[in-house]
Structure 1
Amino acid sequence: MARNTKHIRRAARTAHSRPPKTAPQAKDVAQTAGMGHNQMKPTLIMVGADKGGVGKTTVARALLDYLASNNVIVRAFDTETPRGTLQRFHPEITQVVDINQTPDQMRILDTLNTSQVKVSLIDTRAGALASSLAALRDVGFLDAAKAGDFNFVLFHILGPSIASLSEISETAPFVTDAHYFLVKNYVNDSTFFDWDPATLQTYFGKVKNASEVTIPKLNAMAYEQVELAGTPLSSFVADKTASGEPANHSFTLRGYVRTWQNKNAEEFDRIHLLDLINGRG
C-alpha cells in the first residue's frame, strides 16, 4: 500500500513538472493560414497580337475585371511605352515598361517569386507579340515555365483576316509549354473569316495545346462610353468615377456592359482560367 502511495505521488510530481499545453499563438495561425498563398506558383499572363487595332487592351481589361471579381489579386504591366494604354484604366496596379529593355525585364521577371502578388499580366504593345515572346525566351523564362517554375498563359488576339493564321505559325515555337488561347474578339464589330477545317488543321497542328476563346460584341455606344470613362469595367457598371465617387453613367449602357462582362466570365470559366492560375489545369 505504501509503495502504491509513493508511486502516485511521483506521478503527480511528474505531471506538474510538464509545461501546460497552450493554444496556438495568433502569429502561428496567421503563418499557417498564409502558407497556401505564399506557396502558390507565380503565373504570368500575356495578352498580345502582331497586329494593331484588334482590341488587345480591351481583352486585358476584361481579364483584370474577371480576376478581381474572383478575388484574385493581380499586378499589371503595360508595354505601350511611354504613355501606356492599360494604365489609364488601372493606374493603381499597372506599371508602364519596355519589355525589350533589361531593367524593365528585371522589374517584371525578377519579382515573380518575391512579390506577394502571384499573378502578373502583361499587355504587350501593338504588333510586338513575337518580339515580346522572343525576349522571354532569351532571358530563360520559357525554359523555366517548361520546368514548372511558373505558369505561363498566353492570350493571342487574332485579327479578322486569314493573315492571322500566319501569326499563329510565327508564335508556335514559343508556346509549346504555355496555356495558349487564340482569341476572336468581336467587341468592336470585327467580322472574322471562316476557318476552313483543313487549313485550320495545318496551323493548329503546330500548336497542339491551343484553344479558342471568343469575346462577344459590345453595344457600340456602351463601348464608346466605357472607353471615355477611363475606369475599370466594374467601376463603370457600378456607376463610379475613377476616384470612386458617384458617376452619372447611363443605366442602359451600364446594363450592356454588365451583360458583356457576364458572357466573358462564362468564357473564362469554360477554359478553367482560375484552375490554370491555381496550378490545377
Structure 2
Amino acid sequence: MASLHLVGGEKGGVGKSFTARLLAQYFIDKQQPFIGFDSDQSHGTFSRFYQEFASPINTHSFDSLDRIVETAEQKPDQNIIVDLAAQTFSSLNKWIDESEILALMGELGFRVYVWHVMDDGADSLTLLGKTLQSFNPDQVQLVVVENHGRGEDFDLIDGSGIFAEAKELGAHTMVLSKLQSSLVKKIDFSDSSFWAAANNTDLMSTVERHRVRAWLNKNYLQIDTILTYEANDTLAPAY
C-alpha cells in the first residue's frame, strides 16, 4: 500500500524540512518510489536538497493542493511526501475538510500519515493539541517527532496530558536524534542530500561519513517500526 506523508508542526524552526528530507532518503535507500511536494514559498528547503524528487506546491490554492490527489491517481505505487511550512495548517485543513481528502485518499488505496515535528517548547505542545483536534485517528496515523536537534529535554512534553491523549489515540513517537552540528552545516552549505553526506569523499571525512550513516541507520530503525507496524496491524483502519 502506498502512503501519503504530511510532515508539519506549524512552528518554524522545529525541523519539518529536515524530517521530510530524512523520510525522502529513507525511501531512496529502501528503494521505494516517492514524489515530494514543498510548500515553503520562501526557502524551499526540501526541494533544494531533493530537487529530483520534489516540486513546489501552494497550500493557499486548492488547485495546487489538488496535485497531491492527481499524483496519487496517476502514480498509485508512489509514496508522497508533503513538506508543510509553518503557518500552513489552516489552509491545508480547509482543503482536507471541504474536499473530504482523507476519505478520498483511502479510496485510492493510500495510507495517510501526519508527522508532527516538535522542539521541546510549550508552543510545540499546544500545536500538537491543535493537530489532535483536527484529524480523525480512524483516517490518519499520527507520528509525534521529538526533534533532539531542536531541544534536549522533552520530559514535560512526555508527561503532559496532550501527549497522553496522543498516545491514547494511537500515535507513534519518533525520537529524532541529533546529528552533529558541524555535519549539518556541511550538508546545508553544500546543498547535499543525506546520501551524499554518507558517501561523498569530497564532502566528508571517513569518520564523518560513518557518523552520518550511523545517524541514518538509527532513525531508519524507528521509521521501519512505524511503517511496518501499520502495514501489518490488522486493527489498522481499512480504507
Q: TM-score, normalised by structure 1?
A: 0.74
Report the identity percentage.
22
Confirm or deny: 8 A CA contact 1:182 1:210 kept in the other structure. Answer: yes
* Aligned residue number for residue 232 of structure 1: 193
Given candidates 130, 138, 146, the residue that maps to 1:184 is 146
* Aligned residue number for residue 209 of structure 2: 254
Q: Which whole-Å CA distance do the structure 2 matches of 1:104 and 1:199 have between them?
A: 37
Q: Which whole-Å CA distance do the structure 2 matches of 1:278 and 1:72 have between them?
A: 17
Given candidates 7, 26, 46, the residue that maps to 1:66 is 26
Q: How many residues align?
A: 233
Alignment-mate amino acid for residue 253 of structure 1: E
- The alignment partner of 1:195 has SS state of helix
Given candidates 221, 232, 239, the residue that maps to 1:266 is 221
Q: Which whole-Å CA distance do the structure 2 matches of 1:85 and 1:167 have between them?
A: 22
Following superposition, the deviation at residue 130 of structure 1 comes to 4.4
Q: Which whole-Å CA distance do the structure 2 matches of 1:198 and 1:238 have between them?
A: 39
Given candidates 58, 66, 69, the residue that maps to 1:98 is 58
Alignment-mate amino acid for residue 181 of structure 1: V
* Aligned residue number for residue 50 of structure 1: 10
Alignment-mate amino acid for residue 262 of structure 1: N
Decide which structure has the larger Cα Rg and report it.
Answer: 1
Structure of greater relative contact order (alpha carbons < 8 Å, 6+ residues apart): 2
Change (3 A) 1:136 1:67: same
Change (3 A) 1:206 1:269: closer
Change (3 A) 1:213 1:134: farther
- The alignment partner of 2:156 has SS state of coil
Q: How does 1:109-124 map to 2 (within 5 A)?
A: 109-115=69-75, 117-124=77-84
* Aligned residue number for residue 139 of structure 1: 99
RMSD: 2.6
Q: Which whole-Å CA distance do the structure 1 matches of 2:191 and 2:231 have between them?
A: 28
- The alignment partner of 1:156 has SS state of strand
Q: Which whole-Å CA distance do the structure 1 matches of 2:193 and 2:29 have between them?
A: 12
Alignment-mate amino acid for residue 144 of structure 2: L
1:53-78 Cα shifts (integer Å, max 9, x gaps):
11111111111111111110110000
Change (3 A) 1:168 1:179: same
Q: Which whole-Å CA distance do the structure 2 matches of 1:254 and 1:235 have between them?
A: 9
Following superposition, the deviation at residue 201 of structure 1 comes to 5.7
Q: Which runs of 5+ in 2 are unaligned?
A: none
Confirm or deny: 8 A CA contact 1:161 1:192 kept in the other structure. Answer: no
* Residue 219 of structure 1 pairs with residue 180 of structure 2: yes
Q: Which moved more, 1:163-172 or 1:216-225?
A: 163-172
Q: Which whole-Å CA distance do the structure 2 matches of 1:166 and 1:108 have between them?
A: 28
Q: Which whole-Å CA distance do the structure 1 matches of 2:160 and 2:181 have between them?
A: 32
* Aligned residue number for residue 35 of structure 2: 75
Change (3 A) 1:223 1:197: closer
Confirm or deny: 8 A CA contact 1:165 1:203 kept in the other structure. Answer: no
